[in-house]
Structure 1
Amino acid sequence: MSYDLGVWAGDAEDPQARYASLCDSSGSAAPELDGFYRDLTAKYPELYEAEDPEESPWNAAIERSGDGAVLAIQHSRAVAVTRVVLDLARKHGLTVFNPQTGEVHRPSVLDLTMCDGSRVENPDAAGIKTALGRLSAKNWYAVLERGDHYVQIGQGKFAAAPRGKFALERRDGSPERHYRTEVGSLAEVVTAFAGFAAQDSSWVEGFEWEKVDFS
C-alpha cells in the first residue's frame, strides 16, 4: 500500500472529487505541470528510471493527466518526500491534496502545520500562539507557509537544536534564500510566526541569521 498525494493547478471546490477524477483519468499532461514534474523527478527519478529501484521512494510511476498528477509514495519515505512535494508545489503555484488526512495545501493560503499532523488554515495571532504552545519532544516542529515562503521551528535532535533552544528557519521563496538561527524562548518563536502571518518583515531584523547551503 502506498501513501498517495494529488497535485494539480488551480483550486477545487471539492478536493476529494478532484483527486478521484485524477485517479480515474488518463491522457497527456498539460504544460502547467511540466516544471513541477521536472524538478520532482530530478530529485526522485521515476521508478522505471531509478538506478536502484529498491532505493526509489515511489511505489509506481507518477500518473499525470491534464493539469494534475497522482504520486504513489512508499510509506517509509512519506514524510521526507511529502516535504519536497510541498516545497515544489509552492514554487510552481500548485495545490496538494492528501487523501489520507483530507488536508489541502493551497499555494496562496496561510497554512500552519505541525508534526502531529494538525493543520490550521489562515490562523490568527491567538491561534498561532496556541498551536506553538503544543510543541513538545514528540510534536517537535511547526511550519507556517504562504506560497513559496515559510517560517518553521524545530526542537530536539531532529531539528539539530541544542538543548533548551529552538531552531528557527525561514525561506524567502527559493532554496537559495533559506536561513536559520537559534532562539532560546517560545515567545521569540511566537513573535516570528506572528510577524510572518501579518506580512510584517520587521520581525526578521530581530534575529541573527545564517544562510543554509543545501548543496
Structure 2
Amino acid sequence: MIDLIESLGKGDHSIAILGSADQVYIQTNYLADRDLFNLDYRDGGPSRHYQVNVPTREIVMAAFLSYLAGDDRWRTMVAWERDTHYEEL
C-alpha cells in the first residue's frame, strides 16, 4: 500500500482504494491540475460519504495507515465534509 500511495500522480497511477466491506472504504486520487489529493471515505450508503482535499501525500499516507490499522485517527486528522453528490445519483 505504501508503494501505491507513493506512486500516485506518477505515470498511470492516480487512485488508491482501501475497503473493509461493501460500500465501506477510504480512497484518494491525485488532482494533477491542482497539485492536491482528494481524500474520501464512505461508511455505508450514499448519505455517509465524506471528502476533503489535502495538500500532501503524507496526510494521505497517514489516513490510509490509520484506516488499515483499524484505529479512528483518520476520522479526526482532517476536516471531512459530507459529499451529497452521491445522494443525487
- Which TM-score tier does this pair reach, normalised by the shorter chain? 0.7 to 0.9
Aligned to 1:131: 4
Matches within 5 A, 1:27-176: 128-136=1-9, 138-148=12-22, 149-156=24-31, 163-176=34-47
Matched AA of 2:25? Y
Matched AA of 2:7? R
Q: Distance in 1 between matches of 2:28 and 2:73?
A: 18
Unaligned regions of 5+ residues in structure 2, if any?
none
Q: Distance in 1 between matches of 2:71 and 2:44?
A: 16
Contact 2:63 2:73 in 1 (8 A): no
Aligned to 1:9: none
Instruction: Using the aligned pairs only, state the percent identity.
Output: 30
Unaligned regions of 5+ residues in structure 1, if any?
1-127
Q: Distance in 2 between matches of 1:167 and 1:151?
A: 11
Q: Distance in 2 between matches of 1:198 and 1:168?
A: 18
Residue 171 (structure 1) shift? 0.5
SS across alignment from 1:207: coil
Q: Distance in 2 between matches of 1:135 and 1:184?
A: 13
Q: Would you say how many aligned residue pairs link Structure 1 and Structure 2?
A: 84
Larger RCO (CA within 8 A; separation ≥ 6): 2
- Report the TM-score, using the length of structure 2 for normalisation: 0.85
Q: Distance in 1 between matches of 2:13 and 2:74?
A: 25
CA RMSD of aligned residues (A): 1.5
CA deviations 1:124-165 (Å, max 9, x no partner) are xxxx212211112531111001113100000126xxxx6121
Of the two, which has the highest radius of gyration? Answer: 1
Aligned to 1:190: 61
SS across alignment from 2:61: helix
Aligned to 1:178: 49
Residue 211 (structure 1) shift? 0.6
Q: Distance in 1 between matches of 2:13 and 2:55?
A: 18
- Report the TM-score, using the length of structure 1 for normalisation: 0.37
